[in-house]
Structure 1
Amino acid sequence: MKKSAAILFAFIISQFHAQQGAYYQQSAKYKMDIDVNAEKFTYQGNQTLEYTNNSPDELHVVYFHLYWNAFKPNSMMDQRVAGQGKNGDSRLQKDGVSRLASIPKDQEGAQNIHWIKQNGKTLKFEIQETIMKVYLAEPIKPNSTTTFTMDWDAVIPQQIRRSGRNNKEGVDMTMTQWYPKIAEYDYDGWATFDYIGREFHAPFSDFDVTIKINKDYVIGAGGILENPAEVKGYDTNAKIKADKNKATWKWTAKNMLDFAWSADRDYVVKSFDVPQGPKVFLVYQNNEKTKVWEEAQPYITKYFQLMNSHFGKYIYPTYAFIQGGDGGMEYGMCTMILGEAKDIKGLMGLMAHEGAHSWYQQMLATNESMRPWMDEGFTSYAENYVMYQLFPEDLPNPFAHSLDAYRNFIKKGIEEPAVWLGDHHDNGTAYTYASYVKGELYLVQLGYIMGEQNLVETLKQYYDQWSMKHPSDRDFLHIAQKVSGMDLKWFQNYWINTTKTIDYGIKDVKYEAKSTTITLVNNGQVPMPIDFSIITTDKKIVNYQIPMNMTHTWKEKDIYGDFKTMAYWPWTQKEYSITVPYTKSQLSAVGIDFSQRMADINLQDNFVEVK
C-alpha cells in the first residue's frame, strides 16, 4: 500500500472509531462554604471541586461559568439587549432600553476569583467576562479525577433576569447560577457559550453546600436540608442555632446539573408528599397576592402522578416551588417563579411548565444552549398534555392553542429556524416560537405522522435510555425511527432547520354515479402524509391514510381512529386524487386531518361540507 493511501485509510478508520466511540459523561462533586452579608448583598465563597474526566481525551485546560459577571453596564448581555431594541426580551428592557445599562455601580453583579488551585498547586486563569479559562498544572488524563479548590467573593446583582436582589415582589435574594460552575465537556468539546440571558448546560454533579446567613432568613432550595431543626421555617420545634446572629444551613443534592436557592425573611414553608414521590415544598411569602398557592396541593399531586406515568419517573426525592423569579426558571429539584397569580389555573400553568423541565432539562439534560427546542419545546409539550388533564377544555386535542398561536405567528413573517443557537436569535418573539412552540409541535407532528401510540412509546424509550445523560436530537430521532419503522430525517430537517410551512388543501370534489373523487393539493413547502376522512350522512366516519413516500411505511391506526391505507403521495407531486365509494347523497363532509394536529397554516380549504 502506498504511503498516501495508508494515511487515508488510517484517517477513515480513526473517524469510524470516533463515531462509534462509547458514550461518556463527565462528573463533579462540589463542597461549598458560603458566608452571606445580607445587609450588603454580598457573600464570601470557598469551594472544593472533585472533577472526573470520563472522556477519552486528556484535558489541559478547564472552563468555569461566572454568570453574574453579565449583570453590569456594557456587558455582552447589555450590548445584545441594546442591539435588539424592542425586538429583544421585554424583561431585560424598559421602554426599549436595556435595563442593564442603568445598574448602579454598587449593584453590579460580580464573581471575584481570589485564587484557584489544582491538587494544591496555584493555577493561572483568565476571565473572559462570564467565562473563566483555567490553565492546568497537570493534565487530567482519561478516567482520572482531580481536585480544584477555589476562593472568591461575589456581589449579588440588581435583579434583572433570574438572579439577584430585591425582585419586584420583594424577595431579598434569588441565588441562581450564583457560584463558579465548571463547564460541560463532551464529544462537541467545552460548552462555553457566553451568558447572554438564555439557557445553560452543565455536567451532572453532587453538591454539599453550607450557607451562613442572618438567622431571620428562610431559605428555599433544590436539595435536601440536612439540619431542619436548627434553622427557621421547616420545623415547628426548631431551635435555631446562631453564631454571631447567623444560622448555618446545610444542603445536599446528588446527580444534578446545578444547585439554586433563594432567601427571604418573610418566607413560609409548606410541604406534602406525593404518593410514590416526591416530597413537595412550597416556599413563598404568604400574603393576599399569593393566596392561590393554598389551592395548589391537589393539583400538584395529580401533576406529578401524570408526569410520572406518561413521561417517566421523577427520580429525585424532593421538589420545591419557590417564589423568587422574574417569571419562571427551572433548576435542579426546584424552580423559581413569581408568587402572584390570578387563579389556580394560571399558577399551575407556570408550575407545570417549570416542573416539566425536571424531565427535559434536568433528567434528560440536552445542551439547551445549542438545542433550546428540545428543552423548551418538549417541556411545553408535557405542560400542555398535563394541563389538558388537570383543566379539561372543549378542544380537538391538548395542543390546539399552540397550533393556533403558530398559525397566527407565521403571518408576521419574522420566523427564525429552531436550529439556531438559543442566544443567537435576532428577535425575542422568534426565539419563543422557534424554541417553545416549534419544539412542542415537533412532537405533535410526530404523533400525527407515526401515530400517538408510537409517540408515547418513543417518549418512554427516550426516558428509559437517556435519563441522567446528555442526549441530542440524533438520539431522540434514532428511537422515533426504530419505534415507528419510518424514516423521519426528512421531517426533522424541514421542521427544525428551515422555516418552511405545511399547507394542504382540497382543490376539487367531483361526484360520480357510484363514487366521489377528491383532489388534494400541496400549497406548502413541507411534505406530509395526509389523514383524510369522510363523514357519511348516517354519521359514520371513515379514515384514509395517504402515506408520503419518504417515510417508506405508514401508520395503520391512531388513537383518533383506524385507517384505510392508500397509495403513496410522492413528495415531488403537487396534486393527489382519492376516490371513495360514496355518492354525493351519502356524504355529509370530507376533510383533511379531522384531529387537527397537523400544523397546516391555512385551515380554510381543509374541509368541504357536502350540500
Structure 2
Amino acid sequence: MIRNIFILTFAICANFISAQKGPYYQQAASYKMNIDVDAKALTYNGKQNLKYTNNSPDELNVVYFHLYWNAFKPGSMMDQRVTNQGTNGDSRLQKDGISRLASIPKDKEGAQNIHWIKQNGKTLKFEIQETIMKVYLADNIKANSTTNFEMEWDAKIPMQIRRSGSNNREGIDMTVTQWYPKIAEYDYDGWATFDYIGREFHAPFADFDVKINIDKDYIIGAGGVLENPTEVKGYDANSKIKADKNKKATWHWTAKNMLDFAWAADKDYTVENFQVENGPKVYFVYQKSEKTKYWEEAKPYISRFYQYMNSNFGNYVYPTYSFIQGGDGGMEYGMCTMILGEARSLEGLVGLMVHEGGHSWNQQMMAYNESMRPWMDEGFTSYYDDQIMNELFPPENAIPNPFYQSVQGYIKFNKTGKEEPAGWLGDHHDNGSAYSVASYTKGNTFLIQLNYIVGAPTLNKIMKEFYNQWHLKHPTDRDFIHIAQEISGIDLKWFHHYWINTTKTIDYAVKDVKYNATSTTITLEKIGDIPMPIDFSIITKDQKITNFQIPMNMTRTWKKTDAYGDFKTLEYWPWTQKEYTFTVPFSKDQIIAGGIDVSQRLADVNAENNFFENK
C-alpha cells in the first residue's frame, strides 16, 4: 500500500557480435522482375535480373540466396523445429503442440523451383540447402565491383501458416512476402545465411522494379510506388484497366533503397489513402466490412504516429507506406506491413499499426541483422510503442511514466524462471515466450534502463543521433553503445553486457532507517547481481520531493539531468559493495516516506522493499 501511495504522491508532485572493423561498407543490389501469376493455381513464373555491387574489401567466389517458401512443407527445418519445441514453441505454428506444417497437403506446399541462374551470361552451378541457395560463381566478384545475375524460377504460394501464403483466415487470397530469390547480406560477419525457421530476416538495401501480371479483377497492395495507377483496379477513380488477351493486367511497382519488396492480392480489397503532413502518403488496403470498421477511425491516429516518430527519432525517408490486410498477426516489410484487419477495438488496431509501422525505423531504415540481434529491432520499436500509445490513448490516473507496464511485464516473466538471454540468435531460443520477452520486452527495457541511467533528455539525444548516423545502414549494438557513451559521457559497456548477455537481475532494498535529531540515516542493500546507480527520493510533509542520486563508480560520469526532477548527487556506490549508507537533512517529524526510483523505470525484480514509510 505504501508503495502505491508513494508513487501516487510522486505523480501529483512531479510537474554484441563485433561491429565492422575498418571503414564501413554495405553491399547494394538492384532487382528487375517480371512475374506472371496464375491466381487459380496459386502459382507464378518469375524472371529476375539482379545487379549486385560488392562494396566490401573482399573478393567473393560464391553468393547465397534465400528461398523462404521452401520452409512451408512437412519435414522442413521449420517443421522440425516446431515439432521439437512442442507447446514451448510459437503458438501460431502449432496446435496443441503439433506442428501445423506437418499437415500441409502436397498441393499446398510452398516451393521456389530455380530453373537456371546466370552470371554475366554464363550459366552457374547451384545447390539448394533447405531455404538457402548456394551459387558458385563463374567469375569472382572483386572488391568494389559489380556483377549481373539473371534467373528464372517458378513458385507455389504456400498454404497460409505464418506471414506468407494463400487464403488466410480473414479471406485474403494471396499474401506474397519473402517470395523471390533474395540475395543474402554480406558484411564483416560474413554471409548472413540463416535458415528460415519462422522468425527474422536480413538483406542488403536494394532498388526494385517489379511488374506483376495477374487477373485483371485483382487489386494489389504493395510496398513501393505504383507507376501505372490508371491501368489497374482500385487506385484511380478514372482508371481504365489495361488487360491482355488472357484478361490479365500488369502492375508496375518501383522502390529505391529498400530491404525487400512485398505484396498481397485480393479481388475484394478497397484502397484508401491520406497524406501525412511532412510525412508519407499512407495507403489502407483492406476488405471493407463491419469487421474492419476501425480502419477508418484509425487514420488520424496513424497521422499522429508518423508525426511523433519524425519529430522524436528521425524522418521517414520513403514516399509512401501501405497498411495491408493479409498474413497473420502483423509483419513489417519495405514500405508496407501485412496485418490482420478484423480488430476487436480501435486501440487494438492502432497499436498493431503503430508497432508494425514503427519497424519502418527500427528494421527497415535502421537495418539491424534481426537474426543476430532481434532485441534491437523488436525492443527499440516497442520502446516507441509505449510512448506513442500512451499519448494516443492516455490511461486514467497515469503516473508520468509510459514504460511502467513493460517493466512489470519483464519482472513477471523473470519470476517464471524461463528467461533466456536477449543476446541469443533469434531462432535459437528454446522457448517461444522466452524469445518474445528476450526480443521485445528486454530490448525495450534495455532502453528504459538507459533512460533511467543517463536521463530521459540525454537518451532522446542519443536516439536522434543514432538515427542521424545510421539510418539506411546496418548498425549493430556496438555502434549504438558508442554513440550513447559519446553523448552521455557515461560508460555503459557493463550495462550492455549484463542486460543483453545474461539473465541476471536488478534487486535493491531499503535495509535500515535511523532517525536522528535533525537528519535521517538510510542504509540500502544490493541483493541482485546487476549493479545500478540509484535514484532515491524523500517526500516531506510539505508535499515536496527531494531527489538524491547515488552514482556507481563503474559509470565514471554521472547523470546530469532527467525529466523526473533535479538531483542532489551523493558519493558513489562501488559496484562490489553490498551496502550503502547515507544521511539526508530531514528529521523524523519532516518525512512522510522515502524510496528507490519513484519514477518506476528501474527494473527491480522486488520493488516492494524499495520504500519506507514514517509511521
TM-score class, shorter: over 0.9
Q: Deviations over 1:313-334 (max 9, x none)?
A: 0000000000002000000000
The answer to whether the 8 Å contact 1:59/1:139 transfers is yes
Once residues 519 and 74 of structure 1 are traced to their aligned partners in structure 2, the CA distance between those partners, rounded to angstroms, is: 60
Once residues 200 and 262 of structure 2 are traced to their aligned partners in structure 1, the CA distance between those partners, rounded to angstroms, is: 15
Note if 1:585 corresponds to 2:586.
no
The one-letter code sitting in structure 1 at the alignment partner of 2:522 is I
Partner of 2:392 in structure 1?
390
Partner of 2:253 in structure 1?
251
Once residues 61 and 233 of structure 2 are traced to their aligned partners in structure 1, the CA distance between those partners, rounded to angstroms, is: 45
The answer to whether the 8 Å contact 1:89/1:428 transfers is yes
Q: Find the partner of 1:553 among 557, 563, 574.
A: 557
Partner of 2:98 in structure 1?
97
Partner of 1:28 in structure 2?
29
The answer to whether the 8 Å contact 1:556/1:565 transfers is no
Q: Deviations over 1:284-339 (max 9, x none)?
A: 00011101101011101111000100010000000000000200000000000000
The answer to whether the 8 Å contact 1:516/1:581 transfers is yes
Q: Find the partner of 2:306 among 300, 304, 316.
A: 304
Partner of 2:531 in structure 1?
527
**Structure 2 residue matching 1:86: 3-state secondary structure:** helix
C-alpha displacement of 1:562: 0.6
The answer to whether the 8 Å contact 1:451/1:559 transfers is yes
Q: Deviations over 1:405-460 (max 9, x none)?
A: 11111111000000000000000000000000000000000010011111000000
Once residues 62 and 557 of structure 1 are traced to their aligned partners in structure 2, the CA distance between those partners, rounded to angstroms, is: 50
Note if 1:596 corresponds to 2:600.
yes
Partner of 1:313 in structure 2?
315
Structure 1 residues 234, 138: closer, same or farther in 2, change over 3 A? same
Once residues 357 and 508 of structure 2 are traced to their aligned partners in structure 1, the CA distance between those partners, rounded to angstroms, is: 36
The answer to whether the 8 Å contact 2:21/2:188 transfers is no
Partner of 1:355 in structure 2?
357
Runs (4+) of structure 1 moved beyond 6 Å? none
Q: Deviations over 1:207-236 (max 9, x none)?
A: 000000011100000000000000000001
Partner of 1:58 in structure 2?
59
Q: Deviations over 1:233-276 (max 9, x none)?
A: 00011100111110100000000000000000100000000001
The answer to whether the 8 Å contact 1:165/1:171 transfers is yes
1:30-45 map, 5 Å: 30-45=31-46
The one-letter code sitting in structure 2 at the alignment partner of 1:65 is H
C-alpha displacement of 1:384: 1.1
C-alpha displacement of 1:19: 6.8
Partner of 1:79 in structure 2?
80
Partner of 2:12 in structure 1?
none
Partner of 2:190 in structure 1?
189
The answer to which structure, 1 or 2, has the higher relative contact order (CA under 8 A, 6+ apart) is 2
Once residues 331 and 556 of structure 1 are traced to their aligned partners in structure 2, the CA distance between those partners, rounded to angstroms, is: 39
The answer to whether the 8 Å contact 1:280/1:318 transfers is yes
Once residues 337 and 526 of structure 2 are traced to their aligned partners in structure 1, the CA distance between those partners, rounded to angstroms, is: 44
The one-letter code sitting in structure 2 at the alignment partner of 1:382 is Y
Partner of 1:408 in structure 2?
412
Q: Find the partner of 2:373 among 371, 374, 378.
A: 371
C-alpha displacement of 1:20: 4.8
Q: Find the partner of 1:427 among 421, 431, 444.
A: 431
Q: Deviations over 1:115-174 (max 9, x none)?
A: 000000000000001000000000001111100000000000000000000001000000
Once residues 390 and 135 of structure 2 are traced to their aligned partners in structure 1, the CA distance between those partners, rounded to angstroms, is: 48
Unaligned runs of 5+ in 2: 1-18
Partner of 1:130 in structure 2?
131
C-alpha displacement of 1:573: 0.5
Note if 1:509 corresponds to 2:513.
yes
Partner of 2:11 in structure 1?
none
The one-letter code sitting in structure 2 at the alignment partner of 1:182 is I
Once residues 559 and 125 of structure 1 are traced to their aligned partners in structure 2, the CA distance between those partners, rounded to angstroms, is: 57
C-alpha displacement of 1:21: 1.5
Once residues 448 and 149 of structure 1 are traced to their aligned partners in structure 2, the CA distance between those partners, rounded to angstroms, is: 52
Partner of 1:49 in structure 2?
50
**Structure 2 residue matching 1:64: 3-state secondary structure:** strand
Once residues 104 and 292 of structure 1 are traced to their aligned partners in structure 2, the CA distance between those partners, rounded to angstroms, is: 35
TM-score normalised by the chain length of structure 2: 0.96
**Structure 2 residue matching 1:494: 3-state secondary structure:** helix
The count of aligned residue pairs is: 594
1:151-170 map, 5 Å: 151-170=152-171
Once residues 413 and 550 of structure 1 are traced to their aligned partners in structure 2, the CA distance between those partners, rounded to angstroms, is: 28
C-alpha displacement of 1:506: 0.4
1:232-247 map, 5 Å: 232-243=233-244, 244-247=246-249
The answer to whether the 8 Å contact 1:381/1:440 transfers is yes
The answer to whether the 8 Å contact 2:43/2:154 transfers is yes
Unaligned runs of 5+ in 1: 1-17
The one-letter code sitting in structure 2 at the alignment partner of 1:577 is T
Once residues 460 and 429 of structure 1 are traced to their aligned partners in structure 2, the CA distance between those partners, rounded to angstroms, is: 31
C-alpha displacement of 1:43: 0.2
The answer to whether the 8 Å contact 1:396/1:596 transfers is no
Once residues 82 and 329 of structure 2 are traced to their aligned partners in structure 1, the CA distance between those partners, rounded to angstroms, is: 18
Note if 1:274 corresponds to 2:314.
no
Once residues 399 and 599 of structure 2 are traced to their aligned partners in structure 1, the CA distance between those partners, rounded to angstroms, is: 10
C-alpha displacement of 1:402: 0.6
Note if 1:438 corresponds to 2:442.
yes
The answer to whether the 8 Å contact 1:299/1:390 transfers is yes
Q: Deviations over 1:345-384 (max 9, x none)?
A: 1101000100110001000001010000000000111111
Cα RMSD of the aligned pairs, angstroms, is: 0.8
The answer to whether the 8 Å contact 2:73/2:79 transfers is yes
The one-letter code sitting in structure 1 at the alignment partner of 2:407 is L
Partner of 2:568 in structure 1?
564
